[in-house]
A and B are shown apart, each in its own frame.
Chain A
């Protein structure tokens, strides 16, 4: 509990650090959701590649259903727990969450609009908003790993234009690993460390 008292320089610094840590923690908590979605996309992309190479392309649609359903359920549960934790708060400012939500929405729209246009540009267009979301999160949290991974993911996403369609599922898996699994794991580990879970 904070009261008025004379502060030393060290105490002042501790207050600033503690408040910044608390605001950072709010976003690190999201690492779990990013990790879950990234892992699901990675696994599905690898499975998609295996289905394509074994001549079972007709089952791919069902495969992505196994990504969307568990991913959405996890997101819903995490949001429910977050909501329960902050039920006394009348307002929940969550810019990073909003950016990721917008990226998901844009990817969804792009997926529907571009699915029949070009396989080469598909991955680039799907991942571009997520690269922006990842970069924004990295810059906000001043996490060099997240910034570097987002830039690398953007390069990989744009390289899809030059990669044969048969290998694009593997490229998709690689982008999910770089942009979501590794940063998600880092954020979640930081969150656990900070909370000593």
Chain B
């Protein structure tokens, strides 16, 4: 991804809007008893589009914005999301992963990884209460929600950041004209 000042402004606006939508909409609705978490999916899509560095920096910034906006301890979400962003970027760079379906599947898997990461950070810092097994249901459902969010998110961000994307030119085969009676 070629990050010009204009693209940087777009990325910042996407991060801001993503965090705002998450804390005022997605976190406040429940579907099947679980609130969707779209921020890992947003980081995954940015990582797929921009590569490991873009993913890591976007993850760090989005995590920082999230924790800061909720006036919570800083650093925990940043650490998890930067890891998810970097991992997505690496997957894209090593295996040349592209496409909306790949994005949706990556959102599913890596949202679960992110939720596991949040759990790991919290358990490392100490939890003063018993933990319900429903946390597993929460993790799986968040992953499934991310699958459905990942698809349109990838297509939308592809369009929004088209100017910055380094795409290999599509190879289109021209059909040779058929000559009859030659």
Partners in one complex: no
